[in-house]
Structure 1
Amino acid sequence: MIRRLYEADRERLMALTGHNPSINLFIIGDVENFGFEQEFMELWGESDTPDGPLKAVMLRFYSSYLTYAEGDFDTEGFAELIRKDTGAEMISGDAGVVQAFRGKIAAREEKQMLFAELKEMNGPLRFAAAVPLVIRKATAHDVEAICTLTDQIEEFAASTEDSRKSLRKALESKTGRTFFAEQDGKVIASASTTAENSLSAMIVGVATHPQHRGQGLATRITAELCADLLAEGKSLCLFYNNPQAGQIYKKLGFTDIGTWAMMYLEKQR
């Protein structure tokens, strides 16, 4: 039985997604931030009885769908909901769940990334001696200085204006935080979170100025950021597909817990 979920279903939804708060940080965060009654967002759940525990859930956030299930679930029933949405663009989630939709929805491309989680840091961490650093937690006043750094890094510079708006919104809404290092009054490295909720957060935007790489700055700042969140009882997670980045994260204590898949859908006519 699949049906639309509403506020009265919050406890049942959190009971299911709370089993794995890192994998489900987007669902948990969106529900905590937006509730159930939004035009751009819908949730459906599957259960064996009308009021029984949920075994699967699907979130629509604008044109993207995110699924989570424990064990077998009604893939065809959820696929039918997606097929009815002519604007649907993507399905994402744990690779095993997303792959269950293969052949049920027309897809043009699929990508996968490793998914890692941190619940406890390795320590004490040792860092090579380096020039003196000031590491601070960002406020909205620091947005321009941080984005001046990311503007200079190829993988972050695609949309400089959007990055400023996104960072400011995250800091002001407390759905994300950023730690950064300064030298001679300029930001030379930073690391951020996104999709923060009461249980978990995702690490994003780990950046070091090209002239300051090889000094362990990314590791040092990410460690400070992680310690801040762990002190609040939150777990952390991240996607990666770069083996070198994976080594940095595993040094901190991140462990691979699965594979995240994104299935890009064919446009429906």
Structure 2
Amino acid sequence: MIRRLYEADRERLMELTGHNPSINLFIIGDVENFGFEQEFMELWGECDSADGPLRAVMLRFYSSYLTYADGDFDTEGFAELVRKDAGAEMISGDAGIVQAFRGKVPVREEKQMLFAELKQMNEQISSAAAAPLIIQKATAHDVEAICTLTDQIQEFAASAGDSRRSLRNALESNTGRTYFAMQDGKVIASASTTAENSLSAMIVAVATHPEHRGRGLATRITAELCAALLAEGKSLCLFYNNPQAGLIYKKLGFEDIGSWAMMYLDKQH
């Protein structure tokens, strides 16, 4: 059966999602940060009995749905929850799980990205021989300067309108952090995390100003950011579909562990 999950279900939810904390960092992070009683967020779980172990979970965060299952699950039952929500915009998660919803929900577009994880930094990464670079940890006062950089990066253009609000919220809520470097009073490179939780974090918004590329700035900043999180006992993960970016991440020690899919829904159903 599928039922709503509440605070009393926290332990069994964490047991299920803890099987793969990197894939489930959004679910784990949202529960740690917001709990179960929020208007913008709901969780459902599939189990054989009310107090039995969960085999699948679905999270609604505003208009986006994220699902995870440990083996076979009631795809039709979860799809019905999505179909009942006229405002539903997207289903995301491990590609193999998301693809199970094909034909069960109205799909407008699908995108897929590689999903990589870092548990141990490549020991050969060193900036000792590189030119001096002062790397700073951002505060809310740095939001405008950092977003002025990311505004110039084509791949971030679609989310430019929300970037300042999202970055400020992450820094003020401690659900993310940003490291950056400046030259002549301007941010020339940065890297951030989001969805930080007790087990893992997502690397996002790795950016270098077009005039400063080819100097290894992104690699050095991302390396320092990752080292800080690894020292806290967290694993790191990220999505990518840019082969050049993939080379940077693998140089640091990231390994591909699967694919992440985003299924955009047709809201005219």
> What's the TM-score, normalizing by structure 2?
0.96
CA distance in 2, matches of 1:10, 1:128: 45
Matches of residues 126-205 of structure 1 in structure 2 within 5 Å? 126-127=126-127, 129-158=129-158, 160=160, 162-205=162-205
Aligned-pair identity (%) = 86
Structure 2: runs of 5+ lacking an equivalent: none
CA distance in 2, matches of 1:184, 1:226: 26
CA distance in 2, matches of 1:198, 1:47: 25
Alignment correspondent of 1:4: 4
SS of 1:114's partner is strand
Alignment correspondent of 2:224: 224
Alignment correspondent of 2:57: 57
Query: How far 1:106 moved relative to its partner?
Result: 1.6
AA aligned to 1:195 is A
CA distance in 2, matches of 1:216, 1:107: 40
AA aligned to 1:51 is D
Q: 1:45 to 1:158 in 2, by over 3 A?
A: closer
Alignment correspondent of 2:213: 213
Q: Does 1:26 align with 2:26?
A: yes
Query: How far 1:131 moved relative to its partner?
Result: 3.6
Matches of residues 229-268 of structure 1 in structure 2 within 5 Å? 229-268=229-268
**Root mean square deviation, CA, Å:** 1.5
Count, aligned residues: 269
Structure 1: runs of 5+ lacking an equivalent: none
Query: How far 1:152 moved relative to its partner?
Result: 2.4
SS of 1:100's partner is helix
Query: How far 1:127 moved relative to its partner?
Result: 4.5
Alignment correspondent of 2:112: 112
AA aligned to 2:243 is P
CA distance in 1, matches of 2:136, 2:42: 38
The answer as to whether partners of 1:134 and 1:183 remain within 8 angstroms in 2 is no
Query: How far 1:211 moved relative to its partner?
Result: 1.0
AA aligned to 2:187 is V
